[in-house]
Amino acid sequence: MDAPVPDHRWVDVGRSDDTDSPSAAIEAVSAALGGREASLVVVFASESHDLSVLAEHAAATAGDARLIGCSTAGEISTDGPGDSGVVAVAFGGPGFTVATTEVTGVAADPRAAGAEAAAALGDIAAAPHRILLLLTDGLAGDQQEIVRGAYSVAGAGVPLVGGCAGDDLKMTATSQISGPRVMPDAIVAAAIGSDAPLGIGVRHGWRAVGDGMLVTSSGQNRVVELDGQPALDVYCDILDVPAEARGDADAFTRFALTHPLGMSRRASEEQVRFIAGADFDQRSLVTIADVPQGGLVWLMEGDDDSVLAATDAACADALAGLDGAEPKGMIVFDCIARRGVLGEDGIGREVARVAAHANGAPVAGFYTYGEIARTQGVAGFHNQTLVVLAVA
């Protein structure tokens, strides 16, 4: 009997809810590999695990495949969302070429770190379709600067996609994984070349509340004044922020998860900025990325209908990029704030919608502290948004 012909390109996903870190790593990665040799394995893991132990066993199980990953604020796979688990996605077959990089010390110079991470693209220059997948520490520096640095190397012809690692909403420290190593304040990147198209969709589903306001003072990931008034006071007054959130940092962050800032942009949707906290002494808003002084912003809100409509639109946009080909897999980077709007039942419906768009292809991803999707122009860092990568 003739030996089976291996798939020219394949994508598969594995998941484990085992609380034992070595067992979870082995189970998830083995399921994604399915006995095959892969070019790349990407691992999304809860920080409830011992990530050093988990990375060591994941890398050993992946064999010769390149392995990157990060900590999460929740994991996503074809069968739904989850917490405290491990999800692995593997890319294999001769239709893929892969190179990886790791960069530490990101907060000191995010733009230089982004450029260094993008250097992996030089190893896949001959591939007809290319992307750069970035997993970053969203608590380290201005993430838009990372995107600008990566763009300076990638240029307009290579899309950027990915997300910021999470730590289950502790907002203290996140972890990036490269092979058996676990690092803070880092970027891990995979340059992926394919002989078939790769499509990206990005939508948020938030709506503006009230009129636009001028950012009259900002800097270093803080919005200090809106229309000449302390930004925190304006935010609290317009949105009628509950009393307990006006002086308690944790309560404020929970409220702000579902009330981001929108910034004017030329694309069809405003660009959203996640408000990570408040400085109660300075009366300013703390953001994950820069909000330019002199720009126009809105306060925003959403509901189940608007957020799920954005899910459908992001999936449709990603699939449209495949030029009619069926997806081999879909990777999603979903902001933890969207999870806050939808609730536990709603996120189950959201992942089911993504799986329906995938039409039988596997789905993997994680809940993020920020999303990366640059398909045109230099801007490409998003908050409170869904980013979908479809792989033909």
pLDDT digits (tens, 9 = 90+) for 91-104: 999 999 999 999 99
Q: Are residues 225 and 157 in the same domain?
A: no
Both ends of the chain: CA-CA distance in Å?
A: 30
What per-residue confidence (pLDDT) applies to 276? 85
What per-residue confidence (pLDDT) applies to 265? 62
pLDDT (tens digit, 9 = 90+) per residue, 346-381?
999 999 999 999 999 999 999 999 999 998 766 799
Q: Are residues 76 and 160 in the same domain?
A: yes
Q: Are residues 315 and 177 in the same domain?
A: yes
- Is 3 contained in some domain? no
Q: Are residues 197 and 224 in the same domain?
A: no
Q: Are residues 183 and 122 in the same domain?
A: yes
Summarize the confidence of residues 257-282 as an average pLDDT: 81
Q: Are residues 266 and 387 in the same domain?
A: no
Domain boundary at 271, 301, 331, which?
301
Amino acid at 81: P
Mean pLDDT of the chain: 93
- Residue 88 — pLDDT band, cuts 50, 70, 90? very high
Tokens of 238: 């317009």
Strands 296-301, 207-218: pairing kind: antiparallel
Count the neighbouring beta carbons within 10 Å of the beta carbon of residue 256. Answer: 25
Q: Are residues 196 and 212 in the same domain?
A: no
Does the pLDDT value for residue 132 go beyond 50?
yes
Q: Are residues 24 and 96 in the same domain?
A: yes
- Is 5 contained in some domain? no
Query: What span, in angstroms and rounded, lies between the C-alpha atoms of 185 and 113?
Result: 10
Summarize the confidence of residues 106-129 as an average pLDDT: 97
Does the pLDDT value for residue 183 go beyond 70?
yes
- Residue 270 — pLDDT band, cuts 50, 70, 90? low
Summarize the confidence of residues 331-353 as an average pLDDT: 93
The residue behind tokens 């992926």 is 192
Which residues touch 115 (CB under 8 Å, ≥6 apart)?
149, 150, 152, 153
Query: What span, in angstroms and rounded, lies between the C-alpha atoms of 141 and 139?
Result: 6
- Residue 209 — pLDDT band, cuts 50, 70, 90? confident
Partner residues linked to 6 by β-bridges? none
Point out the least confidently predicted range of 23-32, 207-216, 256-265, 290-299: 256-265
Domain boundary at 301, 318, 342, which?
301
pLDDT (tens digit, 9 = 90+) per residue, 230-247?
999 999 999 999 999 999
Query: What span, in angstroms and rounded, lies between the C-alpha atoms of 384 and 225?
Result: 22
- Residue 3 — pLDDT band, cuts 50, 70, 90? very low
Contact 15, 362 (CB under 8 A): no
pLDDT (tens digit, 9 = 90+) per residue, 18-62?
999 999 999 999 999 999 999 999 999 999 999 999 999 999 999
What per-residue confidence (pLDDT) applies to 341? 86
Its domain, for residue 216, covers: 207-301
- Residue 4 — pLDDT band, cuts 50, 70, 90? very low
Tokens of 45: 């893991």
- Is 4 contained in some domain? no
What per-residue confidence (pLDDT) applies to 337? 84
Q: Are residues 290 and 144 in the same domain?
A: no
Rounded percentage of the chain residues whose pLDDT exceeds 90: 82
What per-residue confidence (pLDDT) applies to 6? 53
Summarize the confidence of residues 297-319 as an average pLDDT: 94
Overall domain count for the chain: 2
- Is 1 contained in some domain? no
The model's pTM is 0.88
Summarize the confidence of residues 305-325 as an average pLDDT: 96
Amino acid at 10: W
What per-residue confidence (pLDDT) applies to 264? 76
- Is 223 contained in some domain? yes
What per-residue confidence (pLDDT) applies to 5? 45
- Residue 2 — pLDDT band, cuts 50, 70, 90? very low
- Is 69 contained in some domain? yes
Alpha-carbon torsion (191, 197, 198, 202), positive or negative:
positive
Domain boundary at 301, 333, 348, which?
301
User: Closest Cα partner for 223 from 285, 139, 161?
Assistant: 285
